[in-house]
A = this chain, B = another copy of it.
Amino acid sequence: MSFDRLINNIKQKQNPTVAGLDPKLDYIPGYIKENSYANFGKTLEGAAEALFEFNKGLIDALCDIVPAVKPQAAYYEMYGWQGVRILERTISYAKQKGMFVITDGKRNDIGTTMEAYAKAHLGTTDIEGQDISAFGADALTVNGYLGTDGIKPLLEICQKDDKGIFVLVKTSNPSSGELQDRTLDDGLTVYRTMGNMCESWGAQTTGETDYSGVGAVVGATYPEQLGELRKTLPHTFFLVPGYGAQGGGAKDVAPAFDENGSGAIINSSRGIMCAWKKEGCDPTDYAQAARREAIRMRDEIISFIGEIR
């Protein structure tokens, strides 16, 4: 269990960013939707098939320069099981193209139920002696509110197939401080306490780099806390949302990286998916617009952190 494959992918492409695949119908060019509705109707299936075409175009345009994608489960579930089927196809297609896939599901539960989520999203499901992959992502975001019982079942399943998890530590939203910034009786904040739990859970994992297989989600909108956590959590790799649409810039995310330019991957979802709208280019050029934005984002971040070693 480690993030070695992700870290190697980042180094090789010299690009510490991940493209969020949170496809809403609003983001998809009209010609893709019309085509899908013509084949499948204005139904959950028709919408879901349009999402897949959109995703496929993005993955094709990004896979040689962006190391990872992060599909957000909510946007697939919104289109029913038909949407969830497209989540599986999106994961599979991105992996075929060499991308590292992080399913953003923020799953959480205990014991055998958490084990079921781990099997679903990262491992395999046993059906009468055959191990079948259900969704097969490389990493999953999880919520640690339930403590160690909610994390341990993941560690066991991730160990076998060299997968990783990202635990919510300090989220990017305005109200994240309501609980996460509160101070506990030992003087540490809730988010620092959760961060320390990540270090301790990660200590049971092994990999080639200094980073464990237990990462943390830390928002770009809180650069001070990003820097504090980078210093205090030396073995915890960061997934950083909040760049772009939520207001974080390259300067804000710079504290997430270590002295080698490693230790973090920065997510952009709407910035990349909706680049064609912002550019005002021809809708059929949406995937290349996404690529241009991905290159701009990469170059902007690299200009702050230098070469990734």
A-side interface residues toward B, CB under 8 Å? 22, 24-25, 37, 42-44, 46-47, 72, 74-75, 77-81, 83-85, 87-88, 106-114, 116-117, 119-121, 125-128, 130, 132, 134-135, 143-150, 168, 171-180, 182-185, 190, 193-194, 197
Sampled A-B contacts (22; CB under 8 Å): A25-B127, A25-B128, A42-B127, A42-B130, A46-B127, A47-B127, A77-B116, A77-B117, A77-B120, A78-B119, A79-B134, A80-B132, A81-B87, A106-B109, A110-B172, A145-B168, A147-B175, A147-B177, A147-B178, A149-B176, A179-B194, A184-B184
CB distance from A98 to the nearest CB of B (A): 23
Q: Which of B77, B116, B130, B182 touches A121 (beta carbons < 8 Å)? A: B77
Q: With a CB–CB cut-off of 8 A, which chain B residues contact A126?
A: 25
Given the complex of chains A and B, what is the CA–CA distance between A108 and B217 in angstroms?
14
Chain B residues with Cβ below 8 Å from A22 are 113
Provide the residues of chain B in CB contact with A171, threshold 8 Å. Answer: 110, 145-146
Distance, CA A147 to CA B173, complexed state (A) = 9
Shortest distance in angstroms between A210's beta carbon and chain B's nearest beta carbon? Answer: 25
Copies of this protein in the assembly total 2
Say whether, besides A128-B42, A145-B179, A180-B145, A78 and B134 are in contact (CB < 8 Å): yes
Cα A111 to Cα B245 in complex, Å, equals 12
In the bound complex, CA of A190 to CA of B146 (Å): 12
Which residues of chain B come closer than 8 Å to A183, judged between CB atoms? Answer: 184-185
Residues on B with C-beta less than 8 A from A87 are 81
User: Which residues on the B side are within 8 Å of A128 (C-beta)?
Assistant: 25, 37, 42
List, in ascending order, chain B residues with CB within 8 A of A24's CB: 112, 116
Residue in A78, A88, A114, A180 whose Cβ sees the most chain B Cβ within 10 Å:
A78
Q: Which residue of B lies closest to A241 (CB)?
A: B110
Residue of B with least CB distance to A184: B182
User: Once the chains are docked, how many angstroms separate the CA of A233 from the CA of B254?
Assistant: 43
| Complexed CA–CA distance, A45 and B107 (Å) | 23
Contacting residues, chain B, for A80 (C-beta < 8 A):
88, 120, 125, 132, 134-135
Nearest B residue (CB) for A269? B113
Residues of B within 8 A of A168 (CB): 108, 145-146
Distance, CA A72 to CA B110, complexed state (A): 12
Known contacts A108-B168, A146-B168; 15 additional CB pairs below 8 A are A42-B130, A43-B127, A74-B107, A78-B117, A79-B134, A80-B120, A80-B134, A81-B87, A83-B134, A106-B108, A144-B179, A148-B178, A149-B173, A150-B175, A182-B190
